[in-house]
C-alpha cells in the first residue's frame, strides 16, 4: 500500500451484492492473470453463501482490495468444516495485514457457526504463503496433492504442475490461539526438513527445467514424510530461502482400560482412613503399533477429592475415550483440550492425557522427561509416611527411610495425631528435613493449635484446611511462620495464580492426576516459578507407570524440593514395570534415558493383576471387553 493508503481503514465484511461478487471475479484476473475459463463465477459465490459458506471482502473506501471464498465440506465421522478455496489481495495492498484480517474474519465467523476447522491449499514453492499459513496463522500440513488443478494459464504457475499442500487450521486449538496472540510456540525437534530456495520464482522464468527439478524434489519429500505420519508444523525463513519443519503428530487408534488390584506391602493411613489394597486404572493408548501408558491416580473412594475408581472408569470409557479416539492431534498437549466439555474428573482425564504424552515421546524416540522440557538427570526423593499404630512404630519407620537415603520425611497428621507426634519426631531427628501433611483435616478455628507446629522448624504444612479452600489458607498463613503447601485446592494454573496473589502458600505440591495431566502441570509449574514459589511432586500410591510419569515431571526446573517419588519396593512386593524404580544411597532417582517413560511394562504380571479390561475403538467401531 502507498503511504496515503496505509492510513485508511480497511473494512472486512461479507459480500452481499452481485456487483461485489463481480468485483471478486475481476480481482481474480488482476491477481493471478487467469483466463476467463478458469475464473470462479458469480454463481459460485452466490451458491457458497446459500449453503453455509463464506464470501468476504476487504474494502478500501468502497473499493475491493481483496476477497476470500470458502465452501462447506463434510470430513471424517460427518464433521462439518470449511474449505477456503480462494483468497487474493491486490499487489498494492500486500504486506499490510489485509490477508491476515480476512483469515481472522473467516475464523471468527466459522467459530460462531460452531465450526472449528478450515482447510485450504497452497503452493509449497510460495515461501511467503508458507510462512504466513504456518507461522502467522498456525495451520499444519498433513496432506499433499500433486498437480491438483492440472497446468493452468496463470503466469504465476509458469506451466508447472499445480502441486498443493493442504493447510489444516484448527481454529480453537491451543496452537492457533497462542500463535494468533503472538505467543511463542514450543518447538519440538524437527524429525525432517524440506528446503525451498528463495530463487524459485526467478528459476520459473529463467530456468524452467531446474524449477521443475526442485518442485519434483519437494513433492517427493512431502509425499514420503507425510506418509510416515509427519506433519509440517513450522517454517523457517533463511538467507537461502525457506525450510518446512516436520514433526510427528499423534492419532490414538485404540485405547485399553485395565483395572488392576494390587495389595500394598504395608498399609497406608491418612486422615481419610487406612488403605491396604489399591484398585488402579491403567490406560494404554495405541498408534501405529506403538503403546503409550498412563495411570488414573484416584483413590478407591471419593475422600481425597470427588473422584474414585468406579466413577473414573465410566468417565474414561464413556466420555473421554470417544473424544480422543480416531482424531488427529498436533501434539499430546492437544489431547487434553478434547476433554474441555467434561467438567471436573481431572484424574480420569489426566490418565489418558499422560498416556498420550508417553505415546508421543516413544514415537519420537525421546525420553519423556526431555520431551516435556525437563532438565535433570536425577531427582531428589522424599518419602510420605502414613499414620502408624504408635509413635515408636513411626520413629522406627522414619529411621529406616533415612537409612535408605531419603532426603525428606513427610508424616501424615490429623487431630489427635499431630503436635506431640511431630515433637517426638523432631526430638529424635533434629536435623532432618521434616514436613507434615494434614490432608484437609483442620479448620481455621484450629489456627492456634496449628501454630504450635511452628516451633519444630518444619519445611511446610501441607493442605491443613478444606480441600477446596484458598481464602482461609491465606488467613492461616498470615498467622504461621511455617510455610503452607497447597495440594488439593490447586487444580489449575489459575488456582495457583490466585493462591499466590492472596499469599495463601509458600509452596505448591503438583500432582499429575489432580491437575489433569502434563499440559496443566507444566502451566502450574510455570506460574509458580514466575513468582518464585517452589514446587514438588506429590504421589497417590501409584504403580510404576504413574511413578515413572512423576519422575519425568520432577525434572522440570522449578521442582527444587524432594518429592513423594520413591522406590517401588516401599509400596509393592512386585511392581508392574521392569526394572522397578530404585533410589540411590544419596536419596535420588536416576532419570531413565529410554524412549517415553523409560521403563518396560510387565504385561505378564499385569495380566495376573487385571480385574477387568476393555479395548475401545474410534466411534462407530465396536469395543471389546475382557475379564
Task: Please write the tens of the pLDDT for every residue from 19-42.
Answer: 999 999 999 999 988 888 889 999
pLDDT (0 to 100) of residue 376: 93
Q: Map grid coordinates 452466490 to a residue.
A: 46
Radius of gyration of the chain (CA): 29
Question: In the structure grid, which three cell numbers stand for residue 262, read together?
Answer: 494390587
Q: Is the pLDDT of residue 293 over 90?
A: yes
Q: Is residue 326 part of a domain?
A: no
Instruction: Please tell me the number of Cα atoms within 13 Å of 49 on its side-chain side.
Output: 13
Catalytic residue check, 412:
yes
Instruction: Please indicate, yes or no, if residue 266 is contained in any of the structural domains.
Output: no
User: Mean pLDDT, the chain, as a whole number?
Assistant: 91
Give residue 273's pLDDT.
80
pLDDT of residue 251: 85
Q: What is the pTM of this model?
A: 0.70
Q: What confidence tens digit (pLDDT) does each residue in 56-110 have? A: 999 999 999 999 999 999 976 577 999 999 999 999 998 889 999 999 999 999 9
Residue 32 lies in a domain: yes
Phi/psi of residue 474, nearest 5 degrees: -65, -40
DSSP three-state, residue 354: helix
The three state secondary structure string of 104-166 is HHHHHHHHHCCCCEEEEEECCCCHHHHHHHHHHCCCEEEEEECCCCCCCCCCCCCCCCCCEEE
Instruction: Kindly give the pairing relationship between strand 328-329 and strand 378-380.
Output: unpaired
Complete DSSP assignment for 157-217 = TTT----EEEEEEETTSHHHHHHHTTPPPPPPPPSEEEEEETTHHHHHHH-HHHHHHHHHH
The total of structural domains in the chain comes to: 1
Quick: pLDDT tens for 150-174: 876 666 666 789 999 999 998 987 6
* Average confidence (pLDDT) over 279-286: 97
**Residue 88 covered by a domain:** yes
* The Cα angle at residue 387 between residues 381 and 389, in degrees rounded to 5: 130
How far apart CA 538 and CA 563 sit, in angstroms, is 6
Q: State pLDDT tens for residues 216-261.
A: 999 999 999 998 878 999 999 988 899 999 987 788 999 999 999 9
Which residues fall within 8 angstroms of residue 217, CB to CB, at 6 or more apart?
none
Burial code (b: 16+ CB inside 10 Å, e: under 16) for 2-31 equals eeeeeeeebebeebeeeebbebbbebbeeb
β partners of residue 270: 273
pLDDT of 131 reads 95
pLDDT of residue 156: 63
Q: List strand residue ranges (DSSP E) for 407-499, in order.
A: 408-412, 434-437, 461-462, 484-486
CB contact at 8 A, 61 and 54: no
* Alpha-helical runs (H) found in 265-412: 309-314, 321-324, 346-364, 368-371, 391-403
pLDDT 10s digits, 582-593: 999 999 999 999
> Considering 103, 204, 410, 511, which one is annotated as catalytic?
511
Would you call 323 helix, strand, or coil by DSSP? helix
Choosing from 410, 412, 414, 522, which is the catalytic residue?
412
Average pLDDT of 135-144? 94
| Secondary structure class of 553 (helix, strand, coil) | helix
pLDDT, tens digit (0-9, with 9 covering 90-100), for 374-415: 999 999 999 999 999 999 999 999 999 999 999 999 999 999
Range of the domain at 177: 3-191
- Domain of 138, CATH number, reads 3.40.630.30
Q: Is the separation of the CB atoms in 544 and 568 below 8 Å?
A: yes
Length of the chain as a residue count:
627
- Is the peptide bond preceding residue 447 cis, with omega within 30 degrees of 0? no
Burial of 610 (0-12, 13-18, 19+ CB in 10 A): middle
Say if CB 27 and CB 40 are below 8 A apart.
no
pLDDT at 5: 47
How many C-beta atoms surround the C-beta of residue 464 within 10 A? 30
Task: Flag whether 605 is in a domain.
Answer: no
pLDDT in tens, 517-541: 999 999 999 999 999 999 999 999 9
- Look at 554 and 326; give whichever has higher pLDDT: 554
Mean per-residue pLDDT for 355-367? 89
- In-domain check, residue 283: no
Residue 128 is among the residues annotated as catalytic for this protein: no
Q: What is the pLDDT of residues 210-224, one digit of tens each?
A: 999 999 999 999 999
Is residue 465 a part of any domain in this protein? no
Backbone angles phi, psi at 524, to 5 degrees: -65, -45
User: How high is the pLDDT of residue 382?
Assistant: 93
Long-range contacts of 489-492 (CB under 8 A, 24+ apart): 489/463, 490/514, 490/515, 490/524, 491/346, 491/515, 491/516, 492/520, 492/523, 492/524
- Confirm whether 434 is domain-assigned: no
Amino acid at each position: 500500500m502507498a503511504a496515503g493508503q496505509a492510513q485508511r481503514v480497511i473494512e472486512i465484511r461479507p459480500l452481499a451484492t452481485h456487483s461485489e461478487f463481480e468485483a471478486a471475479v475481476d480481482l481474480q484476473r488482476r491477481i493471478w492473470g487467469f483466463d476467463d475459463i478458469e475464473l470462479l463465477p458469480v454463481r459460485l459465490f452466490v451458491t457458497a453463501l446459500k449453503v453455509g459458506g463464506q464470501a468476504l471482502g476487504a474494502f478500501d473506501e468502497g473499493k475491493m482490495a481483496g476477497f476470500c471464498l470458502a465452501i462447506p465440506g463434510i470430513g471424517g465421522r460427518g464433521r462439518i468444516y470449511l474449505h477456503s478455496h480462494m483468497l487474493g489481495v491486490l499487489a498494492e495492498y500486500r504486506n499490510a495485514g489485509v490477508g491476515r484480517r480476512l483469515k481472522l474474519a473467516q475464523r471468527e465467523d466459522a467459530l460462531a457457526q460452531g465450526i472449528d476447522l478450515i482447510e485450504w491449499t497452497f503452493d509449497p514453492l510460495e515461501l511467503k504463503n508458507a510462512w504466513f499459513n504456518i507461522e502467522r496463522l498456525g495451520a499444519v500440513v498433513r496432506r499433499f496433492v500433486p498437480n491438483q488443478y492440472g497446468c493452468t494459464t496463470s503466469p504465476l504457475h509458469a506451466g508447472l504442475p499445480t502441486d498443493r499442500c493442504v493447510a489444516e487450521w484448527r481454529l480453537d486449538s491451543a496452537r492457533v490461539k497462542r500463535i494468533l496472540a503472538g505467543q511463542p510456540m514450543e518447538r519440538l525437534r524437527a524429525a525432517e526438513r524440506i528446503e525451498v530456495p528463495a530463487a524459485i520464482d526467478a528459476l520459473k522464468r529463467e530456468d524452467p527445467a531446474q524449477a521443475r527439478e526442485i518442485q519434483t524434489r519437494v513433492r517427493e519429500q512431502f509425499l514420503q514424510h507425510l506418509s510416515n505420519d509427519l506433519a509440517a508444523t513450522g517454517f523457517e525463513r533463511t538467507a537461502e530461502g525457506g525450510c518446512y519443519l516436520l514433526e510427528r503428530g499423534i492419532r490414538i487408534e485404540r485405547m485399553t482400560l485395565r483395572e488392576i488390584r494390587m495389595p500394598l506391602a504395608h498399609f497406608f493411613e491418612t486422615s481419610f482412613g487406612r488403605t491396604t489394597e489399591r484398585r488402579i486404572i491403567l490406560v494404554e493408548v495405541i498408534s501405529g503399533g506403538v503403546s503409550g501408558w498412563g495411570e488414573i491416580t484416584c483413590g478407591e473412594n471419593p475422600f481425597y477429592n470427588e473422584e474414585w475408581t468406579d466413577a473414573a472408569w465410566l468417565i474414561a470409557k464413556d466420555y473421554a475415550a470417544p473424544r480422543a479416539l480416531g482424531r488427529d492431534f498436533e501434539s499430546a498437549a492437544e489431547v487434553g483440550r478434547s476433554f474441555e466439555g467434561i467438567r471436573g474428573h481431572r484424574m480420569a482425564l489426566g490418565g489418558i492425557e499422560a498416556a498420550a504424552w508417553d505415546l508421543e515421546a516413544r514415537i519420537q524416540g525421546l525420553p519423556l522427561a526431555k520431551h516435556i522440557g525437563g532438565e535433570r538427570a536425577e531427582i531428589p526423593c522424599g518419602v510420605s509416611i502414613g499414620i502408624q499404630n504408635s509413635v515408636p512404630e513411626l520413629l522406627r519407620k522414619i529411621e529406616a527411610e533415612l537409612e535408605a537415603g531419603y532426603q525428606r520425611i513427610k508424616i501424615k497428621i490429623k487431630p489427635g495425631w499431630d503436635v506431640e507426634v511431630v515433637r517426638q519426631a523432631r526430638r529424635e531427628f533434629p536435623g532432618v528435613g521434616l514436613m507434615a501433611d494434614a490432608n484437609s483435616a483442620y479448620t481455621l478455628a484450629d489456627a492456634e493449635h496449628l501454630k504450635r507446629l511452628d516451633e519444630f522448624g518444619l519445611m511446610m504444612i501441607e493442605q491443613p484446611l478444606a480441600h477446596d479452600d484458598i481464602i482461609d489458607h491465606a488467613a492461616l498463613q498470615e498467622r504461621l511462620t511455617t510455610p503452607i503447601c497447597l495440594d488439593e485446592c490447586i487444580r489449575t494454573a489459575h488456582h495457583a495464580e490466585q493462591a499466590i496473589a492472596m499469599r495463601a502458600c509458600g509452596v505448591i505440591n503438583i500432582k499429575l492426576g489432580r491437575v489433569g495431566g502434563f499440559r496443566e502441570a507444566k502451566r502450574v509449574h510455570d506460574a509458580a516459578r514466575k513468582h518464585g514459589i517452589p514446587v514438588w511432586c506429590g504421589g497417590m500410591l501409584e504403580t510404576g507407570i504413574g511413578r515413572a510419569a512423576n519422575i519425568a515431571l520432577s525434572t522440570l526446573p522449578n521442582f527444587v524440593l524432594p518429592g513423594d517419588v520413591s522406590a517401588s519396593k516401599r509400596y509393592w512386593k512386585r511392581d508392574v514395570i521392569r526394572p522397578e524404580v530404585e533410589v540411590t544411597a544419596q536419596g535420588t532417582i536416576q532419570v531413565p534415558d529410554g524412549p517415553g517413560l523409560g521403563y518396560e511394562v510387565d504385561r505378564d504380571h499385569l495380566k495376573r493383576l487385571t480385574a477387568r479390561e476393555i479395548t475401545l475403538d474410534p466411534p462407530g467401531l465396536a469395543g471389546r471387553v475382557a475379564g
